[in-house]
A and B are shown apart, each in its own frame.
Chain A
Amino acid sequence: MALLEIRNVTRRFGDFIAVDNVSISIEAGEFFTLLGPSGCGKTTLLRMIAGFDLPDSGQILLDGKDMVNTPSEKRPIHTVFQSYALFPHMTVADNIAFPLRMAGKTPDEIKSRVREALDDVRLSNFGNRFPEELSGGQKQRVAFARGLVNRPRLLLLDEPLGALDAKLREEMQIELINLQKDMGVTFVFITHAQNEALALSHRIAVMNQGNIEQLDEPSRIYGFPRNRFVADFIGKISMINAQVLEAAPSHLKLMVAGLGEVTAPSKEGVRVGDTGVMAIRPEQVRISHHAEETELKNHFLGKVQGFLYVGDVTTYIVELSNGASIEALLPNSAPGRAKFFEAGDPVAVSWRHDAGIFLND
């Protein structure tokens, strides 16, 4: 039995449907992420799991028990809030002790568990500080410790890394993965940052306008997006309008207007004559000075339109002969080398026949 089961949950605010007939089941020990743009319904769903809000229809079951009559304070579910929501009038130790105290633990147990929790988040000497005396990362760790100290069945994390700078965020991501592994607590993580979701999760539900667009493992979400929304939302991707010419069990043959034929991996349910886009990730596209240099079937000529240098890699935007643009990513692995092509250079782009994906309209 799944630890948490969300069954056909719908939540409306007036005419607006925030969560539209969503069903998810989350297993014990899982790091599950709800990913989506703001307003997609992920926060509403989280608030219903936490017990701050109730579904208009559908059920939320924890260990098979419907939670509808269980108020938030009685649910073995704790939340790490985006703003941390640490109690400003309490010391770090008192903040962490709070859920234990509410649960009526003995002073001795509280003392040892708080000690332990402080050690777990590497804040052993910060027990007597007040939240305002901590840095952002330290506050974050106190929030984690407070959420985990009473060993909830489920820990909800509402964009907890949103307020941190990029470097600290990466550190906290690693810390979060370790915490989850060590504690064995099930995490439900909410974020709009797709790279965070990919880095942390066992499974991701991509949400949009109250619906789940795709629920899968990170590599499947990234590699095999189910539709244009998911493809576009997760990572970078180039999309070129195409029509299906041939749908074989081994491959698809697509027609791109003004460019020619493209071979793509086969996909279930695609029929000859379907229109859609041929989508391809920048790192799958090879770029070279001359067409002769490649033996790949999918290769086309174009012109470098511009590039984006970000240090480790450079993304080149190539305009194809039919006017469509495609992005190609090259690692800057040669020391001191920042770019290999200039804007305006005539180039050839190519990709393997099993790269890319056809997405129906």
Chain B
Amino acid sequence: MIKNSTKANHAAKWLVSGPPLLFLLVFFVAPSIIMLFTSLRFPGEFGGLAPITAPAEAVSGEYGLTLETYQFFFSDILYAEIFLKSFGVAAVSTLICLIMAYPLALLIARSEKRFRNLMVLLVVLPFASNFLIRIYAWMIILGPESVLSHFINTVLGAFGIAPVTLLFSPFAVLVGMVYVHLPFMVLPLYTNLEKHDPALLDAAQDLGADAWQRFWHVTWPLSLPGVFSGSALVFIPVLGMFAVPDILGGTGDILVGNLIKDQFLGTRDWPFGSALSIMLTLAVLAITGLAAWFAQLATRQRSVTETE
């Protein structure tokens, strides 16, 4: 009887988790393997890939598997620079998102229950309009004829500083990145903060903690899981984003995302594009792994008060 029911449980477990597993297998694992293979091949003469074995009528050309693309990646410092710059932009965007999202998430989590859902809805409302349209809107907002540009340059002019262009600059890229990804930081933070037991803050206050100490010793450490998941949700997409630098950035604002896109759509060098993707994936895995390790350290550090 018991055996039967556990068997049934087992079947049910696979029935429920099977389809998503299959989905991931087909649309994530398989493409990753294909990408890995692509990165080890030679580019075709007119884009695409060269055949693995030389065709009979071929006179010259390179066929088979190679590590050349990776050698190429490491031979030019330019690519490392672009990677580093992308990580810098991702880190700064994540930090700005965190600083902007935290107070907002806290405000929503601490407001009356009946207003919370409405406020969350407002946070995700921008998703209702197309992402590219919203980015193009920033072209107008940051453009040289915009109210914002005029205002900033008037203020700068008053101090005798030369006028600046906002659009097509690293600043514009950063604005776009933060704007697009802010909700991804707000939502996990809110979900975490909303679950905090208000009695803990009462207890902290009762035991002598002022407002700042209550935040620093209770709210902040308890919110770290939310901070880490929000940061991952901003950091990783920013790293691969190409549309924002394409539209809002200048010619010098090329990030990893643009580089990869160009390999596939511009230069038509699929193997190198794949190699760049693989390198990016590895870097992201390394960084998130490191972050997860830090997160564990931070949230469950052993006592500061020794008793032994």
Contact = CB atoms under 8 A, between A and B. Distances in A.
B212 to A, nearest CB: 11
Interface in B233-258: none
Interface of A: 50-52, 71-74, 77-79, 81, 83, 85-91, 93-94, 96-99, 102-103, 110-111, 114-115, 118, 124, 127-128, 130, 146-147, 150
Given A83-B199, A102-B209, A127 B217 contact: no
A146 B307 contact: no
A79 B200 CA distance: 12
A110 B304 CA distance: 11
Given A52-B206, A127-B303, 6 more contacts: A73-B207, A73-B210, A85-B202, A91-B303, A98-B207, A102-B207
Given A73-B210, A81-B199, A89 B222 contact: yes
A91 B302 contact: yes
A72 B304 contact: no
A52 B214 CA distance: 14
B60 interface: no
A83 B202 CA distance: 12
Interface string B158-199: 000000000000000000000000000000000000000101
26 contacts: A50-B206, A52-B205, A71-B205, A74-B208, A79-B203, A81-B203, A85-B197, A85-B199, A85-B200, A85-B202, A91-B302, A91-B303, A91-B305, A93-B305, A93-B307, A94-B305, A96-B305, A97-B305, A98-B204, A99-B208, A102-B208, A111-B306, A124-B307, A127-B308, A128-B302, A128-B303
B307 A118 contact: yes
A102 B213 contact: yes
Given A89-B299, A111-B305, A115-B307, A73 B199 contact: no
Contacts of B306: 93, 111
Contacts of B300: 89, 130
A150 B208 contact: yes
Given A98-B207, A98-B217, A81 B304 contact: no
A72 B199 CA distance: 14
A103 B208 contact: yes
B218 interface: yes
Interface of B: 197, 199-200, 202-210, 213, 217-218, 221-222, 299-300, 302-308
Contact of A78 (B207, B213, B303, B305): B207
B302 A73 contact: no
Nearest to B221: A89
A94 B208 contact: no
Nearest to B206: A79
A103 B197 CA distance: 23
Contacts of B210: 73
A110 B299 CA distance: 22
A59 to B, nearest CB: 21
Given A79-B203, A85-B203, A89-B300, A73 B305 contact: no
Best-buried of A74, A78, A102 by chain B (most CB within 10 Å) = A102
B222 A52 contact: no
B296 to A, nearest CB: 12
B205 A94 contact: no
A4 to B, nearest CB: 16
B303 A73 contact: no
A18 B177 CA distance: 52
Contacts of A83: 197, 199
Nearest to B213: A102
Nearest to A99: B207
B222 A78 contact: no
A127 B305 contact: yes
Contacts of A77: 206
A80 to B, nearest CB: 9
3 pairs of A and B residues whose beta carbons are closest in the complex: A127-B307, A102-B208, A85-B203
A94 B303 CA distance: 6
Contacts of A97: 304-305
A124 B209 CA distance: 26
A114 B203 contact: no
A190 B299 CA distance: 34
Given A81-B202, A83-B199, A87-B200, A146 B207 contact: yes
